[in-house]
Structures are given as structure tokens and as C-alpha cells.
Structure 1
Amino acid sequence: MKSFEVGFIERQAITPELIRTIRLLGEYMGKEALFKQQSPQILETLRQVAIIQSTQSSTRIEGITAPPDRIKALVEEKTTPVNRSEQEIAGYRDVLNTIHANAREMPFTPNVVLQLHRDLYKFMPEEGGRWKNTNNEIIERRSDGSILVRFRPVPAHLTPEAMEILHNRFNQFWEEERYEPLLLIPTYVLDFLCIHPFRDGNGRMARLITLWLLYRAGLEVGRYISLEKLVEDTREGYYDSLSKASHGWHEANHTLLPWWEYFLGVMLLGAYREFERRTGLITTAHGAKTEQVLIAFEKLPKRFHYADLARVCPNVSRPTIKRVLRQLRQQGKVECVKPGRDALWEKKGS
């Protein structure tokens, strides 16, 4: 809530690198939208893999592990949990599925956050869906087994009010549309983690809420690439940026830039680059790039420029597009009306 005090975000430094990252994310969003139209079967394959990776990585970050075959069976709902680790994995799976299916429709309120936390713990003997009743600490579990105290959050007795204030201010900023959503989302996540509103499960909830807010903003890369795995793979940077950004948070004397840079430049941009890499690999492996150009060709008007075709096939190389056009011309389906780098083409026989 401290980050949403009046004038605080406006005072934050925004570097040229951060502006470039936001611009790149906008470009990747456009590519993602085009790919969803052209290759839904490929995205379904990625979605299935991402659900398993997300469940596995987010729980593993918290020290919750299970054999890969058991995780896969749990995620696919082909078995029931038999121990505590599997109960936590099954709960994460269910909340993840809820967000995948309903993120746009769910009101962003403290009550819904409580409901998601309740569902996170529905297979557990202890009850979820309640704010913490004792003070807690943010800790980092290091690879050698040692624990480092990173932050002392808002006291338990102030937590309900803090969460109400956080959501009221965030929703106000979101609805005003004066602020870049890509900056508001990590800012909320930072404040959520500084409040640390639950006795347990705060890290998992923060990652689930991250997905929820990104979906509301129209960024759906987390549906196909596991953001949780990216966080796990860059864990040191994750904790380090949170530590730097939370220093002085209680006094509203902190800086958001380190966390913004990690969240947008490392995690989210990394996810889109991995999305581009994987879709390129999959389409190449299945010989689908030619098919992608042909599908796009059918949707173009009778007369079109080369650039029109290239724009709707962002993952296809220039030589591949030229080869497909050459084949179509040989088949009498298209004719080059005006040659050149951005040639004008005309469909024939229609």
C-alpha cells in the first residue's frame, strides 16, 4: 500500500532501458495475438507443458517437492494427493486452473484473494482463506539449506486494513488509466509481499496473483510459458530485487526500479522470448511455417503488399515467405503487379 500513496509512483525513476522493455513487451503482445489466431494447436501443447512446470516450480521454490510422474498425474487430475507435498501441489493446480479460466471475470478484491488462498489449502488439514493472526518474516531458503531474513512485514493486527487499502488504491489507479498497467502490476505484487498477509503461502499467492493481473491486462504469455519456472531459474535476482525495492518500504522511502527491472525485463520479457523461441522450434519441427504463410495469404485482400504478409507472419523468415509466394505464383494463384522490396501482389482466380 505504501507504493500507492499519492505521488509516490510519479517520483520513481524510469530509465531508457525500462522504457525500451515496455515497448518490446507491447510488440511481443502483438505477436502473441497473431500466433493465437494462426496456430492454436501449438499453443495448446505449450499450455499443457506450462501448467505442469508452473505447479512444479512454484511449489519447489517453497521447498515442496514430489516425483515428476506424480506431479504430472496430479496436474492432469489422474490421481489424488497422498501426502502433504502432494496436497499443496493439488491446491496450487486448482487455483492456477481457476485463474486460467476466469481471470478477466473475477473482481480484484481482498475477498477473492482470500477465496483463492482457501482453495490453495483445500486439500490440507489446516484451513486457508484467513489473514495471518501472528507476525511473520520474509525469508530466503538458500541452496545450502541456510535461511536469510529478508524483510519484516506489516504486523498481523494491521493486515486486514492494509489489504483493503492496497486493493482500493490499486483499483483506483487501474481504473483511472493514467498509469502504465505494466508498472502497476509489479508494484501491487511488491506491496502484497511487503504486507505478507497470510501465515503461509504468500510466495505462491504472489505468483498466482501476478498471472491474474497480467491476464487482466491482456498479457497471456504465462498461459504458455511458466513464469514460475523463470522465477525459479532466476531466484537470486528475484530475491535481490525484492530486497532492494523493499528497503525503506514501511516509511515509503523505497525505490521501485530494481523490482520493475526484474519483473518486466527479466521475468516477463524472458517469458516472451522463450515463447518466441519455442513456437519457432515447434513450427519448424512440424513443417508448419509454410502452412502459416498460406493461412495468412488466404485472409489477405485481393491486392496486398509483401509487408502485409510479413506483418501477420512475425515468426516466419523473409526467404520462407518469398518461397511460398513463388510457389503460389507458379500455381497461378497470385501475380506480382509491382516488383521491389515491398512488392505489390494480386490474387488470381478469385
Structure 2
Amino acid sequence: MELETHAVLKVTIEARDALARFDARAQALPNPTVLINAIPLLEAQASSEIENIVTTTDELFTAAATDVGATPAAREALRYRSALQTGFQQVGHRPLTANTAAEICAVIRGHDEGFRRGEVFIGDPATRQRVYTPPSGTELSRLLDNWSEFLNAPTDLDPLVRMAVAHYQFEAIHPFTDGNGRTGRIMNVLMLCDAGLMHLPLLYLSRYIIESKDDYYRLLREVTSDGTWEPWVRYIIDGVRVTAERTTRVVDNIDDVQGQLLDHVRQVVGSANGDLLSVLMEQPYSRVRDVIDRCGVSRPTASKWMHGLVDAGVLADLRVGREVLYINRALMDVLRG
């Protein structure tokens, strides 16, 4: 079947352009660690929300800063971020295969069950009406091998087209009893990094999918029932374009926040303290001891700086158990969108 139709190639060109501009912009940031720390957390939140695991941005960043009182949903989202990191560490060192997906799923779920052995129910939980029956038994193993081969075999397909096809195939195989959606979305970004389209794992489609959830599931079903690949491939690739453009705007806004925060640090500290600036940008919910460790100053000095920035309206303070967290308000406003 022809996958790279004229319509698909058109959206592919647009998406590749937006993705290249985003990748260049992200690499040009003075401190890309800001993105590496924050954007995967936002992806963890959005990807978990698709599976009805809902946590707020404040809960999630609080849980990332201190384990005190973390909700089960926040802990699950943090495992998702760990799974992202686990997968990215393999890019360039090992081929992406079904075993990669199994390792990622194990981190997401907090235990390793391996590939499922029996059937799974996919359908309406209220009516119990079955919508789709994924393969099982020896067919499951055969299709997983086929999927792994498709990811790594030489091909003339554009990497974005291959990612769209591979994502459908993974969700259709449905190799785990739980965690398939989240694992599949992590594999998407790993495929883009593995293909050299991104240098850092910073582009995630979960927010796009949430905003068009009905289309996502409808198009998945139509590939299964009717073999209508073109609308599905266009949908996924257009999601790359939309997400790249949106995340580029986030990067621009983060850069603005960093410039403004530097001015406030100069006023409060009396110098352009780059280490303090890095703490506040890399850890939007930071602690006095983070400043002590990074800046090499005493606790009274670190506390004086943080209280001064609170008094200036730059930071907000939040007590969590015995910890006090200092929130970079402007940065969090940008990250919340």
C-alpha cells in the first residue's frame, strides 16, 4: 500500500520544517537542562491523563521536588518520566525493539510482567461491548518480531511516516496487559531521536492527542476496519508539526523568563549569580538546600536570597511537610501554558 501519498508528503514537509526549527531553538538555549527537566514532566502528566490518571501541575512538580505527600497519580506520572529517561539512554547504543518497549513498560508500571500471555478486553467499560481483540499467543510473538524488524530495517520511508505506522501497529498488537498507550507514546519520541530528527527527547504528542482524542481513536479503528492509512498518517504527522510549533513558543517564553529572572537576581543578590539562576530555572520548585549545594553558600545566605526573591514577588513559598519549596512563578505560568 502506498503510504507516502501527495497529501502525506505535504504534511511531512511542513512537520519536518517545524521540527527542525524547534530542535535548533532548543539546542540554542543557554541552559537546555531547563527543558530536559520540565517538558518530560509535562508529558508525563498529559500522557497519564489520557489513561485517566489525573494530577495537577503543582502536585507533579511538588512530588518531583520532595516525596512528602505525593499522590498515587503523581507517583505514576513520575514513573513515566523515569521510563522516558530509561528509553532515551538506549538511543544510539541499542536498536529500538519490542524488548525496549518491555523495559519502558516495566518502569511505567513499577514492576515487570513481560508480554501478556492471554487475551485482553478493549471496548466500552460501561456496556462491556468488545470493540477490538488484539492478537495473542504465538501470533503476538510473531507480530512483535515483525514490529521490531520494521523499526530497524532499511527503508525509503520518511522517519515521520514510519513512526506513524509503527505507532498504529504497536497499539494494535497491544503487547501488555496495561501501559500500552503510555509505552507507545514514549516509543514515538525515541523513534524521532533515533532517526536523528531531534537531539533531545523533548517533543511529545500527548497534549495533541488529548485535544483530539475522539479523532485519535476513530482513526486507529478505521485503519483496523478499513485499511484507511492516509488519514491516520496525516493526523500523526500533523501532530508533530502542531506540537513542534507550540513547544517552540514555550522555549521562547522560557528564554524571556530567564532574562527577567536574571535582572531580579542581580537586584536581590547584588550580582548576576549564574548558579542561583540555574537552580531556579532547572528546578521550578526548589529548596534552600538546592541553592546551598549548587552555589556553595551557607544556609543563612541561601535563605536570605530566597526570601528576598519572595519579597520581590518573583518566587512563591509553599510549605510541604517540614520542607519549604520556592516556586518560580513566571516559569510555572509558561509551563502551564
TM over 0.5: yes
Q: Which runs of structure 2 are paired with 1:41-120 in the superposition (5 Å)?
A: 41=31, 43-74=32-63, 76=64, 78-79=66-67, 84-120=72-108
Q: Give 1:57's aligned amino acid.
A: A
Q: Which residue of 1 aligns with 2:168?
A: 190
Partners in 1 of 2:240 and 2:199 — Cα distance?
Answer: 8
Deviation at 1:166, TM superposition (A): 2.0
CA spacing shift, 1:13–1:80, aligned 2, 3 Å? same
Deviation at 1:219, TM superposition (A): 2.9
TM-score normalised by structure 2 residue count: 0.67
CA spacing shift, 1:287–1:94, aligned 2, 3 Å? closer
Q: Which residue of 2 aligns with 1:218?
A: 196
Deviation at 1:153, TM superposition (A): 1.1
- 1:138 maps to 2:111: no
8 A contact 1:242–1:258 mirrored in 2 = no
Q: Give 1:52's aligned amino acid.
A: L
Partners in 2 of 1:61 and 1:146 — Cα distance?
Answer: 20
Deviation at 1:243, TM superposition (A): 1.4
Q: Give 1:158's aligned amino acid.
A: E
Q: Which residue of 1 aligns with 2:8?
A: 18
Deviation at 1:221, TM superposition (A): 8.6
Partners in 2 of 1:13 and 1:116 — Cα distance?
Answer: 28
Identity %: 19
- 1:199 maps to 2:139: no
Q: Which residue of 2 aligns with 1:155?
A: 136
Q: Which residue of 2 aligns with 1:28?
A: 18
Partners in 2 of 1:224 and 1:25 — Cα distance?
Answer: 15
CA spacing shift, 1:81–1:255, aligned 2, 3 Å? farther
Bigger radius of gyration, 1 or 2?
Answer: 1
3-state secondary structure, aligned to 1:107: coil
Partners in 1 of 2:86 and 2:51 — Cα distance?
Answer: 21
Partners in 2 of 1:282 and 1:27 — Cα distance?
Answer: 22
Q: 2:222 aligns with which of 241, 244, 250?
A: 244
Q: Give 1:26's aligned amino acid.
A: R
Instruction: Give per-residue Cα distances to partners, 1:169-226, cap 9 Å, x unaligned.
Output: 4322xxx232222111111111111111111111111111111111111233983454
Deviation at 1:62, TM superposition (A): 0.8
8 A contact 2:36–2:202 mirrored in 1 = yes
Deviation at 1:19, TM superposition (A): 1.4
CA spacing shift, 1:185–1:140, aligned 2, 3 Å? farther
Instruction: Give per-residue Cα distances to partners, 1:255-309, cap 9 Å, x unaligned.
Output: 32121011101x1111111133333444566679xxxxxxxxxxxxxxxxxxxxx
3-state secondary structure, aligned to 1:132: coil
8 A contact 1:115–1:129 mirrored in 2 = no
Q: Which residue of 1 aligns with 2:307?
A: none
RMSD, aligned α-carbons: 3.0
CA spacing shift, 1:188–1:99, aligned 2, 3 Å? same
Partners in 1 of 2:200 and 2:232 — Cα distance?
Answer: 19
CA spacing shift, 1:262–1:121, aligned 2, 3 Å? same
Partners in 1 of 2:40 and 2:14 — Cα distance?
Answer: 25
Q: Which runs of structure 2 are paired with 1:321-332 in the superposition (5 Å)?
A: none
Count residues with an aligned counterpart. Answer: 260
Runs of 5+ consecutive residues of structure 1 not aligned to the other structure: 1-10, 249-253, 289-350
8 A contact 1:225–1:274 mirrored in 2 = no
Instruction: Give per-residue Cα distances to partners, 1:52-90, cap 9 Å, x unaligned.
Output: 21111111111112344332233x253178665344323
- 1:271 maps to 2:243: yes
3-state secondary structure, aligned to 1:182: helix
Partners in 2 of 1:67 and 1:276 — Cα distance?
Answer: 23
- 1:234 maps to 2:215: no
8 A contact 2:87–2:104 mirrored in 1 = no
Q: Which residue of 1 aligns with 2:308?
A: none
Q: Give 2:230's aligned amino acid.
A: L
Partners in 2 of 1:96 and 1:284 — Cα distance?
Answer: 27
8 A contact 2:151–2:166 mirrored in 1 = yes
Deviation at 1:230, TM superposition (A): 1.9
Partners in 2 of 1:286 and 1:70 — Cα distance?
Answer: 23
8 A contact 1:133–1:157 mirrored in 2 = no
